Structure 1
Amino acid sequence: MSGVRRRRDAAGKERRLVKTDNGEDPVILSDSLESETGSARIRLRERWELASVLNFLNVFEPVIGSNSKISAEEIEMGLIKPDSPVAQLHIDLLKGIPPVNKNLNGSDAWVTVLCKKLTMWWPWVAEGEIPLTANKGEEINRYKELDPTIRLQILKALCEIRAEQNDTVSYINDAIKHGTELSCFRKNNIGGDRNGTTYWYDGNTVLGHRLYREVKKFDPKTKVRGKGCLAPPLASFKWETLATNLEEFRKVADDFSSSKVTVQVAVSKIVQTDAIPVLEDLQKKKERAFKRKRRQEMLLNDSQNSYRVESTRSCRNRRPVSYTFDEYDRTIKEAIQMTK
Structure 2
Amino acid sequence: MADVLPSCRSPAAMKVAGGDELSAKEENVDGSAMAVDSDVNFEAEALKLRGQWELASVLNFLNVFEPLIGKSLRISAEEIEKGLIMPDSSLVELHIVLLKGILPPVSKMLNGSNAWVTVLCKKLAQWWPRVAEGEIPIKAFKGEEISNYKNLDPTKRLLLLKALCQIRADQDDAVSYISDCSKDKTQISCFQKDKFGGDGNGVSYWYDGNPFVGYRLYREVIKCDRKKKGKQKGSISLPKFSTRWETMATNLEEFHKVKDNFLCSKISSEFAVGRKIESDAIPVLEKLRKSKERSLKRKHRKSMLLNGFKKSCIVGVTRTCRIRAPVNYTFEEYNRAIDDAIGISRTLGCWLLLIM
TM range (shorter): 0.7 to 0.9
Q: How far apart, in 2, do the equivalents of 1:296 and 1:316 lie?
A: 35
Q: Name the structure 2 match of 1:247.
A: 253
Q: Which amino acid aligns with 1:258?
A: C
For residue 39 of structure 1, the aligned residue among 41, 44, 47 is 44
Unmatched tracts of structure 2, length 5 or more: 1-23, 350-356
The alignment's TM-score, normalised by the length of structure 1, stands at 0.86
Cα distance change of structure 1 residues 318 and 285 upon mapping to structure 2, 3 Å threshold: farther
Contact 1:63 1:168 in 2 (8 A): yes
Map 1:6-25 → 2, pairs under 5 A: 11-13=27-29, 15=31
Counterpart of 1:227 (choices 232, 245, 256) is 232
- 1:289-304 maps to which residues of 2 (within 5 A)? 289-304=295-310
Determine the structure 1 residue equivalent to 2:15: none
1:185 is aligned to 2:191: yes
Q: 1:95 aligns with which of 78, 100, 111?
A: 100
Do the aligned residues in 2 keep the contact of 1:65 with 1:92 (CA within 8 Å)? no
**Aligned residue for 2:66?**
61
Q: How many residues align?
A: 321
* Contact preservation (8 Å) 2:229, 2:238: no
Q: Distance in 2 between matches of 1:70 and 1:175?
A: 24
Change (3 A) 1:317 1:279: farther
User: What is the SS of the residue equivalent to 2:195?
Assistant: coil
Tell me which amino acid in the other structure corresponds to 2:62: L
Corresponding residue for 1:203?
A: 209
Pick from 215, 222, 227: which aligns with 1:216? 222
Alignment correspondent of 1:279: 285
- TM-score relative to the length of structure 2: 0.82
Contact 2:181 2:188 in 1 (8 A): no
Query: For the Cα contact (< 8 Å) 1:253–1:271, is it kept in 2?
Result: yes
Structure 1 unmatched runs, 5+: 1-7, 17-27
Which residue, 56, 70, 89 being the options, matches 1:84?
89
Q: CA deviation at 1:210?
A: 0.3
Structure-2 residue corresponding to 1:23? none
Give RMSD over aligned pairs: 2.6
Question: How far 1:86 sits from its partner (Å)?
Answer: 1.1
Local SS of the residue matching 1:12: helix
- AA at the equivalent of 1:242: M
Deviation of 1:334 (Å) = 5.4
Asked whether the equivalents of residues 53 and 245 of structure 2 are also in contact (C-alpha less than 8 Å), the reply is yes
Would you tell me which structure has more helix in proportion to its own residues?
2
Larger Rg: 2
Q: Give the drift of 1:330.
A: 1.0
Q: CA deviation at 1:279?
A: 0.9
CA distance in 2, matches of 1:119, 1:170: 25
The 1:240/1:120 distance shift into structure 2, 3 A limit, reads same
Matched, 1:269 2:275: yes
- Indicate the residue corresponding to 2:12 in structure 1: none
Amino acid at match of 1:11: E
Q: How do residues 65-144 of structure 1 correspond to structure 2 at under 5 angstroms? A: 65-101=70-106, 102-144=108-150
How many angstroms does 1:333 deviate by?
2.1
Letter in 2 for 1:270: K
The ranges of structure 1 where at least 4 consecutive aligned residues each deviate by more than 6 angstroms after the TM superposition are 337-340
8 Å CA contact 2:168–2:174 kept in 1: the answer is yes
Which deviates more from structure 2 when the two are superposed, residues 29-38 or residues 54-63? Answer: 29-38
Q: Secondary structure at the match of 1:11?
A: helix
Q: What's the CA shift string for 1:291-328, capped at 9, x where partnerless?
A: 12222232233334334433444476958856326414
Which residue does the alignment assign to 1:170?
Answer: 176
Corresponding letter in the other structure for 1:12? N
Whole-angstrom distance in 2 between the partners of 1:312 and 1:329: 18
For 1:236 and 1:182, the matched residues in 2 are separated by 29
Distance 1:36 1:131, change over 3 A: same
In structure 1, distance between residues paired with 2:344 and 2:265? 66
2-side partners of 1:45 and 1:272: how far apart? 23
- Residue 231 of structure 1: how far off its partner (Å): 2.8
Task: Give 1:187 shift.
Answer: 1.6
Q: Which moved more, 1:249-258 or 1:182-191?
A: 182-191
**How far apart are 1:94 and its partner, in Å?**
0.9
Q: How many Å separate the matches in 1 of 2:25 and 2:316?
A: 44
Could you list the per-position Cα deviations for residues 5-59 of structure 1 after superposition, in whole angstroms to 9, with x for gaps in the alignment?
Answer: xxx988222556xxxxxxxxxxx97111111111110000000000011001100
